[in-house]
């Protein structure tokens, strides 16, 4: 069961190179590595994790919340 709460998809940017985990737990499998400065789409958050969705067809996953910052988009 996922304990993340859904939010409107928002754009974040990684502040360091970060690992994408299969589940919101340090012990879960790492499915991706993303570079510092990458824009990511966050669809949920909870317990210190952000749930992300790929725009490029990569598996969804979870990153640590302190590895990314919300960036506001000018329309």
Whole-angstrom distance, CA of residue 48 vs CA of residue 6: 14
Neighbouring CB atoms inside 10 A of 58's CB total 13
List, for residues 31-46, the tens digit of each pLDDT value.
Answer: 999 999 999 999 999 9
Whole-angstrom distance, CA of residue 74 vs CA of residue 57: 25
Distances from the Cα of 49 to the Cα of 37, 40, 66, 75, angstroms: 18, 14, 8, 27
> What pTM did the predictor assign?
0.82
pLDDT at position 7 over 90: no
Q: Which residues contact 5 (CB under 8 A, 6 or more apart)?
A: 44, 45, 46
């Amino acid at each position: 069961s996922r304990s993340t709460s859904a939010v409107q998809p928002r754009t974040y940017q990684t502040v360091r190179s970060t690992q994408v985990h299969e589940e919101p737990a340090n012990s879960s499998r790492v499915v991706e590595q993303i570079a510092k400065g990458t824009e990511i789409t966050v669809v949920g958050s909870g317990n210190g994790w952000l749930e992300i969705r790929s725009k490029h067809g990569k598996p969804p996953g979870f990153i640590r919340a302190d590895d990314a910052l919300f960036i506001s988009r000018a329309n």
